[in-house]
Structure 1
Amino acid sequence: LHRDEIRRAELVANPGCYPTGTILAVAPLAKHEVVERVIFDSKSGITGAGAEPTTFTHYPNLHEAIVPYKVTNHRHYWEIVQELGRFQPDIKISFTPQVFPGSRGILTNAHVFLRGKLEIDEVKKIYEEFYKDCFFVRLQDEIRLSWVRGSNFCDIAMFKGEDRLVISSAIDNLVKGASGQAIQNMNVMFGFDEKLGLDFVPLFP
């Protein structure tokens, strides 16, 4: 989203892992200023909490559990607001993070309530146009976290309901959500091929 600025930059701050999945899911619609409200429901693997052991990440506390945390005050909320607000300043955003008992990955479901009516074919065209030059964003009919594990890809799928769109995104929080996009940004900054060191298939199965 900031490729031109990154080319001229001397210092780049990488996005957070949650903002990466959420912003990429909704940016094309926000650019067209058609979003009334978006509710992000994001689930992260345990590595999203960092390497320091805590009672929260202790295996017995997370095994067979999905745990909401910092439900209304997660620090990444404001980064999401900042970036989507660049496209649509009056966008209304809610964000709820949760941890699931897996090692890695972030699955986000964005419930998008529109200002007007868009058919699913129109939505797909908006996303295809927005991401036409983005090798690491793949538009899919459905998504799985396992399809992006160990890769720099962000998979996005679009669904139309009676009262809303649901835009789903999947990333590996340790690659696209962290080290992978750091390398991608470095490549852009120094004029290298953006895919250098990152063009490999996910670790599936």
Structure 2
Amino acid sequence: MFKFINTIFGKPKQILQEKDRMKKFLVVGLGNIGPDYEETRHNIGFKVLDHLCEEEQFTFESAKLGAVGSFKHKGKSVLCLKPSTYMNLSGKAVKYWMEKENIALDNVLIITDDINLPFGTLRVKTKGSDGGHNGLKDVQNTLQTSQYNRFRFGVGADFGKGRQVDYVLGTWNDEEQKALPERLKKSADIIRSFVFAGIKNTMNQYNGK
């Protein structure tokens, strides 16, 4: 009887649960809430997810610690999260939704702006330092690891000494605005590739393009 209860069609229940877990993904766009931040460079994580939302035709709804929306991609479930904790406390929202939805760390992707990359450069990594980014720093401290997948969207570093905060919290210039639609479309492709093809294949196909 015990064996029958804990197996389904001959497969251990635990194995089936783990297989289901590996089909669930969490994609987090980092940013700050409120209209004052909406079109700033620091909010590119939100902007990428908003574009993905349009392509996949799902909606975001207010929930605990953020706005969430979901869609299916080739048999896999993707939960998208825009934390409402402000950038410096992003890790709290990431951890909460990972635990609530029982999502493995390998299936988490964090989208962030990066001043160390030229504008529009897209780079996916499996680990690394926070690079001085307060959002990534809090994610690393909260999860107690630097080995999580991150998608870095280059915003450039066209600012003088002591002007970094003004730059990342500033709005896109005209040239950047024209280039953004194509870069956002490519970003959505990267997310779908991460979900379906895996992080390594995505790195090989898209990094630097």
Normalising by the residue count of structure 2, what TM-score does the alignment of the two structures yield?
A: 0.27
Report 1 or 2 for greater relative contact order, CA contacts < 8 Å, sequence distance ≥ 6. Answer: 1
Normalising by the residue count of structure 1, what TM-score does the alignment of the two structures yield?
A: 0.27
Question: Which entry has the higher C-alpha Rg, 1 or 2?
Answer: 2
